[in-house]
Amino acid sequence: MSTTVKVTAQEVNKLRQATGAGMMDCKKALVEAEGNFDKAIEVLRKKGQKVAEKRADRDSSEGAAVSKINADQTEGVAIVLGCETDFVGKNENFLALANQLADIALNTSSKEEFLAADFGGMTVAEKLVEQTGVVGEKLEINAFEKLEAAYVGTYVHINKIAALVGLTAKVDNADVLVKDVAMQVASMGATSLSYKDFDPAFVASETEARIAVIEKDNIELGRLGKTLKNVPKYISMAQLTPEVIAEAEEAAKAELKAEGKPEQIWDRILPGKMERFISDNTTLDQEQCLLDQKFIKDEKKTVADYVSSYGDVQISGFKRASVG
């Protein structure tokens, strides 16, 4: 009987608008459902489930990263809608879906709550299954990051990286400050705000690993007769106790004395030497701590220096969500 049912172009278009499915898929679903709109949606959903089951073991490493900020700019969310190919990830309909999902995500507090949230009469999780059938690729949420602060801003890099940054206060030109710092987060990939957030065990193991790599490199450099790399004793400010700094300063003074530098000019030379010592022995901080990184728009400053130029405000936190 269903094969004799005729459907109108208006009915097909209505189903397309509701599901995003192709014209022929919508027509077939309506015919199978004998013209019943709700049943046709169920037909498409079941198709999506079958496709999803077949592609469950596929890698959804491509996709789109998007972010949304609430009207008060006190909350932000960044998500990654994953798919299998870059071709789908750049598709306008796919990007539109990612942005619709981000709007919903903004009003949830966790990935689990987000996946259970309503999307046009079905859950977000069900919508992803439905759209898997429409697109023909595995779709899933690969990242969900939420941030709350006195002021939140964002930056998205070509839909591949979405960064959120929170401030402790709303200051003049806060929008410029958060965008600049969010660009820093997106491009430089910090993992923590400050060296104070590091676990001592992590710093210790990282120190050992980095020294081992440099020593191995130096064996090859020595064999080739090239200049050897400096082997740091430390890699984080977390290790530079007052005693270590005092010892380094005494070593610098001894060096100046050995070089025959007059003692009366030491005060002019020592600050530069100590600055270099700290720089040489805080490589982990410079790589992974947002506030200690060189500011990408002015490498003479750290991010902390740049933030302080805006007055009485600090970075309260940041989040980063990236494709792949």
Residue ranges of the domains in the chain? Answer: 2-54, 62-188, 196-311
Q: What is the mean pLDDT of the chain?
A: 90
How do residues 79-119 score in pLDDT, each as one tens digit? 999 998 898 889 898 999 999 999 999 999 999 999 999 99
Q: How far apart are CA 320 and CA 188, in angstroms?
A: 11
Using the predicted structure, report yes or no on whether residue 1 has a pLDDT greater than 60. Answer: no
Q: How far apart are CA 290 and CA 189, in angstroms?
A: 8
More confident residue, 34 or 236: 236
The pLDDT score that the predictor gives to residue 2 is 41
Residues 160-185 have a mean pLDDT of: 96
The pLDDT score that the predictor gives to residue 204 is 94
The pLDDT score that the predictor gives to residue 151 is 97
Using the predicted structure, report yes or no on whether residue 261 has a pLDDT greater than 80. Answer: yes
For the chain, the first-to-last Cα distance in angstroms comes to 48
The pLDDT score that the predictor gives to residue 11 is 83
pTM above 0.85, yes or no: no
The pLDDT score that the predictor gives to residue 81 is 96
Residues 205-219 have a mean pLDDT of: 92
Residues 55-62 have a mean pLDDT of: 78
Q: By mean pLDDT, which of 53-62, 88-97, 141-150 is the weakest?
A: 53-62
CATH tag, 2-54: 1.10.8.10
One fold for 2-54 and 62-188: no
The pLDDT score that the predictor gives to residue 52 is 64
The pLDDT score that the predictor gives to residue 135 is 79
How many degrees, rounded to 5, is the angle at CA 109 between CA 108 and CA 112?
85
Using the predicted structure, report yes or no on whether residue 3 has a pLDDT greater than 60. Answer: no
Residues 282-290 have a mean pLDDT of: 94
The pLDDT score that the predictor gives to residue 247 is 94
Indicate the fold that domain 62-188 takes in CATH: Tetrahydropterin Synthase; Chain A (3.30.479)
Using the predicted structure, report yes or no on whether residue 195 has a pLDDT greater than 80. Answer: yes
